[in-house]
Amino acid sequence: MRIAMRGVVAAVLCLAFATASAADGRAPAKRPPGAAIASAHALATDAGFEVLRAGGNAFDAAVAVSSVLSVVEPISSGLGGGGFYLLHDARKGRDVFIDARETAPAAATAASYLDAKGALDRDRATNGPWAAGIPGLPAALVHLSRRYGKLPLKATLAPAIRIARDGFPVYTRLSRGYAARREVMERFPGTRAVFLADGDPPQDGELLKQPELAATLERLAANGFDGFYRGVTAERLLAGVAAEGGKWTAQELAGYAVREREPLRFAYDGWEVVTAPPPSSGGIALAQMMQVLAPWDLAKLSPTQRTHLTVEAMRRAFRDRTFYLGDPDFVDVPVETLAHPAYAAGLRASINPDKATPSELLSGAPTPLEDEDTTHFSIIDADGNRVAGTQTVNLLFGSGLIPPGTGVLLNNEMDDFALKAGTPNAFGVMGYDANAPAPGKRMLSSMTPTFMVSPGRVAVLGTPGGSRIITMVLLGALGYADGLDAQAVAALPRFHHQWQPDAISIERGALAPDVIAALRAMGHTVNEPKEAANGQRSSDTWGNLQTVEWDRATNTLHGGADPRNPVGKARVEARAAR
């Protein structure tokens, strides 16, 4: 098979950034003509604009969008969870990564998650108090506001407080998710008080009001960090966890701190990609995959060749994820090696252009069947500030546990640790020592909020989807590099490989039948939606990619909301406040 290679030298990129003008000869615009926001719920996107119009910047808008998502998407993220926020401060020309990942409580040792036979106790790992890490999202809101925003939290949290108190209409994804998690949710009195307030589970179209969550948000708005991590809210969180047999301490809550980290950067075909460092695995994997693929002119390849090479890059990146990645505050993650172009060249050399490389045979656990959890938003403001935020409670409705009186649904992020070495988690990914739990340690994540920057274009993107986040961001980034617009990037068909299980999973119709046949002839296993590895029917589609783009050549803004999610919204406003 002849494969088109291109001779791009990455170093040329720096020169290009220093000197380039747009392709048509016009100088790229220095400031966007307005603002753009894409998020998984229209109420959150609109709240972001409300705050921009009140004089806020992209970081204030991020607080509004993040907090409204926390209210209207309890299925996906919330004050009881965590998130990553990649920021670009236009005035300083600085990118920074805010790590608000949950941390492990000291009591949550690996041994606490084993059953009597020494097997991983999946119920403990995913449901109830032991599943939950110490939340990071409220601290992120405070940090974003105090360090980067222009408005007080009282202003930026106002839309979330209003919507929590007055309610929002239940949509199908939420009611369906509730039905899927009902048994767990209804174990806990605090959760029943919120979701069964009117006597039955949330129904499409009815208003879901969360007065206790509104009061918790008000305490956060009034008192900042101490309004959540100390005082009334903290006391109720501790009591609610203890009542269900969990063990959190007041010191662990009060000691939570977000981390500011240096984002990961690499070059790809004239773009600078700025993305998530550990404890995300996404940025390193993205750097590996894109640098493996860089010499090939993917647009010139047949769909089969392109898919084969992309899958081989995915396979190799996910193998490294398994062994090397974890919280950099606890383990030595070889970031420089793994993200280095020379390392990618080594991986590339091991790819046979005509044949699938079999993954080593380990556990064949399936990838997850649900993709409704976790959420992403993308923002560009009129000054050129940017935010890519991905936040989560992990699986549908997290642990299911709302400590009474708080309205705060706790995450089940502990399952993202390698609670038992070599045993796959809910996403079928596994790990060893680097991602073993330890007191105060952050569990490895796949969340990959990302910027793509070229002389003529700037894009912000990300998505939920567990381990598939990484490959969706890869396909989206390759889509931008191919010249697609934001909406086309959000709509791109998806395929995924994560080393183990050794199979390509695809969305319904993502690959043409002849491409699937050709890939199978090369030795790939291709799982179409009806053929999930465990015999269950997997999702027809996955992900919820939200992206915005500033075309500096034409000085226009564009948004892309994933068409798979009917309540999402991308909006561009020409004269949003500076």
Coil, strand or helix: which one is 85? Answer: strand
Q: How far is the CB of 126 from ligand DON (least distance, A)?
A: 11
Q: How far is the CB of 339 from ligand DON (least distance, A)?
A: 18
Rule CB under 6 A: is residue 73 a binding residue for ligand DON?
no
What's the Rg (C-alpha) of the chain?
22
Q: For residues 572 and 560, give the distance between their C-alpha atoms in angstroms, rounded to a whole number.
A: 10
Binding mask 468-497 for ligand DON (x = CB under 6 A): -x----------------------------
Q: How far is the CB of 454 from ligand DON (least distance, A)?
A: 28
* For ligand DON, the closer CB: 128 or 465: 465
Rule CB under 6 A: is residue 392 a binding residue for ligand DON?
yes
Residues 304-363 close enough to bind ligand DON by CB under 6 A: none
* For ligand DON, the closer CB: 272 or 371: 371
Q: How far is the CB of 36 from ligand DON (least distance, A)?
A: 23
What CA–CA distances, in Å, run from 491 to 380, 395, 441, 502, 504? 20, 23, 36, 26, 19
| HEC readout, 100-145 | ECCECCCCCCHHHHECCCCCECHHHHHCCHHHCCECCHHHHHHHHH
Neighbours of 485 (CB within 10 A): 18
Q: For residues 110 and 447, give the distance between their C-alpha atoms in angstroms, rounded to a whole number.
A: 23
Rule CB under 6 A: is residue 464 a binding residue for ligand DON?
yes
Rule CB under 6 A: is residue 102 a binding residue for ligand DON?
no
* For ligand DON, the closer CB: 175 or 394: 394
Rule CB under 6 A: is residue 501 a binding residue for ligand DON?
no
Which residue in the list 126, 156, 304, 374 is annotated as catalytic?
A: 374
| CA angle in degrees (0–180, nearest 5) for 524-526-528 | 175
Residue 322: active-site member: no
Q: For residues 506 and 508, give the distance between their C-alpha atoms in angstroms, rounded to a whole number.
A: 6
Q: For residues 578 and 575, give the distance between their C-alpha atoms in angstroms, rounded to a whole number.
A: 8
One residue of 465, 501, 559, 560 binding ligand DON per CB under 6 A? 465
Which of 406, 569, 567 has its CA nearest to residue 73? Answer: 567
Q: How far is the CB of 496 from ligand DON (least distance, A)?
A: 12
Binding mask 400-429 for ligand DON (x = CB under 6 A): -------------x--x-------------
Count residues near ligand DON (CB under 6 A): 14
| Residue 318 and residue 338 in contact, taking contact as beta carbons nearer than 8 Å | no
Rule CB under 6 A: is residue 99 a binding residue for ligand DON?
no
Binding mask 424-453 for ligand DON (x = CB under 6 A): ---------------------xxx------
Q: Which stretch binds ligand DON (CB under 6 A): 109-117, 151-159, 315-323, 462-470?
A: 462-470
Q: What does the chain come to in residues?
A: 578
What is the DSSP code string of 32-84?
-SSEEEEESSHHHHHHHHHHHHTT--HHHHHHHHHHHHHHH-TTT--TTSEEE
Q: For residues 150 and 51, give the distance between their C-alpha atoms in angstroms, rounded to a whole number.
A: 10
Query: What one-letter code names the amino acid at 232?
Result: V
Which of 81, 54, 56, 55 has its CA nearest to residue 66? Answer: 81
* For ligand DON, the closer CB: 140 or 301: 140
| CA angle in degrees (0–180, nearest 5) for 401-404-406 | 90
* For ligand DON, the closer CB: 392 or 454: 392
Binding mask 354-373 for ligand DON (x = CB under 6 A): -----------------x-x
Q: How far is the CB of 361 from ligand DON (least distance, A)?
A: 25
Q: How far is the CB of 468 from ligand DON (least distance, A)?
A: 7
One residue of 57, 304, 322, 394 binding ligand DON per CB under 6 A? 394
Binding site for ligand DON (CB under 6 A): 371, 373-374, 392, 394, 413, 416, 445-447, 464-466, 469
Q: Which residues carry out catalysis?
A: 374
